[in-house]
Structure 1
Amino acid sequence: YQCNQCDKAFSLKHNLIVHQRTHTGEKPYECNQCNSAFSLKVDLINHQRTHTGEKPYKCNQCDMACSRKSSLIIHQRTHTGEKPYQCKQCDKAFSQNGKLIIHQRTHSFSILYP
């Protein structure tokens, strides 16, 4: 199944439909409490937890609880020391991709302003 706007291809029709929302801006999943809208059902479910305070993802090593599974995975790296995001320029490693991206700017900055 191929997108007719950007030529990306998908093995499942459902994935193409979801992808096409990036082009159309369609957000069919709406919060019934604040009218925020989302293109993915999982994003609506995660958002609704901001209203309910539900934190179903519990750390098995401390009392931390999270509303998103991705947040728990990142938190658990504080216990394991895992740093899967490695800088290709200096081999420094990070637990979160966003921290790697921020770090990589230091290399760009030093090239521009030695």
Structure 2
Amino acid sequence: MRTHTGEKPYKCDICDATFCDRCDATFSRLDSVKTHLRTHSQEKRYKCKRCDVAFPQSGTLKTHMKTHTGEKPFKCDLCDATFAQSAHLKTHMRTHTGEKPYKCELCDAAFSHSCSLKTHMRTHTGEKPYK
């Protein structure tokens, strides 16, 4: 029923406990929380048999395997771009729509990618994480 109501009563304990600003993950199922928690730990149970990489979730390994096969089933309807992951196609579509959903709360800047907003925020905080 929660999938119909949108209720998501379970929140990642790690993100709350550490005031993680990168994760607002909420879930409708408790097992989804447990799966998500592995993304915050060092536990990587799903190992690629073709290279030395490992992942915390089986779905991530499945997506990774496409890098070995070259499979790119997600196609843009507006250009010839293809992607191995649906999320990458969704992000790509912003190049056509001009959508910039990531907005700075301190100035008028807006970005099409969350990583661009994160980098921009350093202009306000003065953070210089790379030495």
Q: CA separation in 1, counterparts of 2:48 and 2:35?
A: 18
- Alignment partner, residue 73 of structure 2: 56
CA offsets 1:7-49 (integer angstroms, 9 cap, x no match): 8896534224324535763322221212422111111011111
Equivalent residue pairs, number: 108
Per the alignment, do residues 27 and 86 of structure 1 end up closer, same or farther by CA in structure 2, a change over 3 Å counting?
A: same
1:1-114 residue pairs with structure 2 within 5 A? 12-22=29-39, 25-109=42-126
- Alignment partner, residue 112 of structure 1: none
Q: CA separation in 1, counterparts of 2:105 and 2:39?
A: 31
Q: CA separation in 2, counterparts of 1:65 and 1:25?
A: 31
Q: CA separation in 2, counterparts of 1:23 and 1:81?
A: 32
> TM-score, with normalisation over the residues of structure 2?
0.68
Sequence identity of aligned pairs in percent? 46
Q: Which runs of 5+ in 2 are unaligned?
A: 1-9, 18-25, 127-131
Q: CA RMSD in A?
A: 2.7
Q: Which runs of 5+ in 1 are unaligned?
A: 110-114
Contact 2:99 2:112 in 1 (8 A): yes
Q: CA separation in 2, counterparts of 1:10 and 1:55?
A: 28
> TM-score, with normalisation over the residues of structure 1?
0.77
